Structure 1
């Protein structure tokens, strides 16, 4: 699908929502960050402590340009036990890195220049993101952007309304081997990642998003429809791109949990993996904080979540082929 048609798909599917103006002009409209004080929302994920340790180490990598985490609001999941139980320990951990714990997002916003929204519970992201947007501060939103496609769209509509570019990505966008891929020569790809389930989130939104993001990193936008095969242990989602290419995602819930894939190109097949850690993502987050330029377009992030929502709908309908356009139309009506 060419650049124009991809834009046409998104703008038509969410008519009145995230339009071409957002894709073209968000970075130029953004307010300049006034400093390098980073605030974290959500201490219910290891991502928060990893980012704080990297930025606040005694000898941080110069690529982080002096950005430091100065304050954190811990919440955060409150009814997802696997996440909520981490909060007390992670509070103590970030304190050791010199991070102040605050009692509200509003208090946090008075102390920082940019924000990492790390809350593991995607159901809270829209409400929390709106508070940040209203403050005019740049924000990175960790995966999942939200716990529904409709909330994902709403977040990007708010980004347009408040003229604040927002960046969201999984660290699996930076899996080893990606740097060797000439995306203009990709014929198809198969990716895999763990796809553990959480009852409060659509199936793939919780963890399968990692492998789906890897798939989109090499395939790009333009998927028209998906079909899903689902068993208690495994999900296989087959995506049909508008230009005839096929991309698949395999989500695992047994055996060794790992990340990777195979990319089929005009020059031969290339292997992705292993996982490369958080640092490459953090480099892009800091670059975004400095410039306001988003490394991943709203168009691509929205389509990733439409892909996963279409996969859920396919499961509900016994493996029927589901178009991304159909799930986008439903989401915009909610």
Structure 2
């Protein structure tokens, strides 16, 4: 196979255009070979303005600029492709859309957020196992070149803490799932699974999310709504502290992520343990609960 024929479900996010540019345009400076978007289902959520207000524009761009075939259902996408990108910006509908395509047994990448509750995350994992469908989900920031380079310096060392930061817009239906997923992915890439409790402090402009791991490590996520759009972190080991500019490096977030996805399509093995994705879902769900109650929430 020269390349994977990729189908997209949900054309209500800028990611669909960004990914298609990088995959389909071999002249792009950051072209990622190995896959081509050939078919897509627009979808969209009627009760979410950031979905329904954008779906037509992105659909037209994929059809008119990249000759992507637009079809009427997720099932048609699954029938016509080798691999599926479930891109719907509304994480609340990922489970119902996944149910419609999982039986086709095509590898599926689900864009962030995986879903918006632990219950749904567990059901998606169960379905993937039942139908032996390869599954991967994460934020593009997880594979930022700056973060990858920094973590290489900590190989063989004991990471004892991490403080992450980034923009944190709040969307009514998602809360911290909307942008908190990005800094949470950075933290989990360094720490792995094992968070036991989460506490959130907030005001109009800022949130601090503090996660305590079972082994005593503490990680923090600082989110702002003041206009600072930069992602980064500070990583601490027993004998070293390293600043991470997640935006550094010549390769953009999306290209680094797509390289990992193409590897996943070739091997069937995701770059992130899906059980970790499930825990991240619970981490953010618990953070939303803490944000509302002002209390520490156990995972």
Task: State whether TM-score is above 0.5.
Answer: yes
Q: CA deviation at 1:317?
A: 2.7
What is aligned with 1:261? 233
Alignment partners' CA distance in 1, 2:284 and 2:201: 13
Equivalent positions of 1:26-41 (< 5 A) are 36-41=4-9
Alignment pair present for 1:179 and 2:149: yes
Superposition CA RMSD, Å: 1.9
What is aligned with 2:298? 323
TM score, norm. by length of structure 1: 0.82
Q: CA deviation at 1:35?
A: 6.5
Report the count of equivalent residues: 290
Alignment partners' CA distance in 1, 2:150 and 2:121: 31
1:295 to 255, 271, 294: 271
Alpha-carbon contact 1:189-1:215 (below 8 Å) kept: yes
In the TM superposition, structure 1's runs of 4+ consecutive aligned residues that sit over 3 Å from their partners are 58-66
TM score, norm. by length of structure 2: 0.91
Q: CA deviation at 1:208?
A: 1.1
Alpha-carbon contact 2:41-2:74 (below 8 Å) kept: yes
Q: Which runs of 5+ in 1 are unaligned?
A: 1-32, 325-334
Alignment partners' CA distance in 1, 2:8 and 2:46: 17
Alignment partners' CA distance in 1, 2:253 and 2:274: 24
Equivalent positions of 1:207-246 (< 5 A) are 207-246=179-218
What is aligned with 1:14? none
What is aligned with 1:160? 129
What is aligned with 1:129? 98
Alpha-carbon contact 2:84-2:109 (below 8 Å) kept: yes
2:39 to 44, 67, 71: 71
**C-alpha offsets along residues 3-29 of structure 1, whole Å, 9 cap, x if unaligned?**
xxxxxxxxxxxxxxxxxxxxxxxxxxx
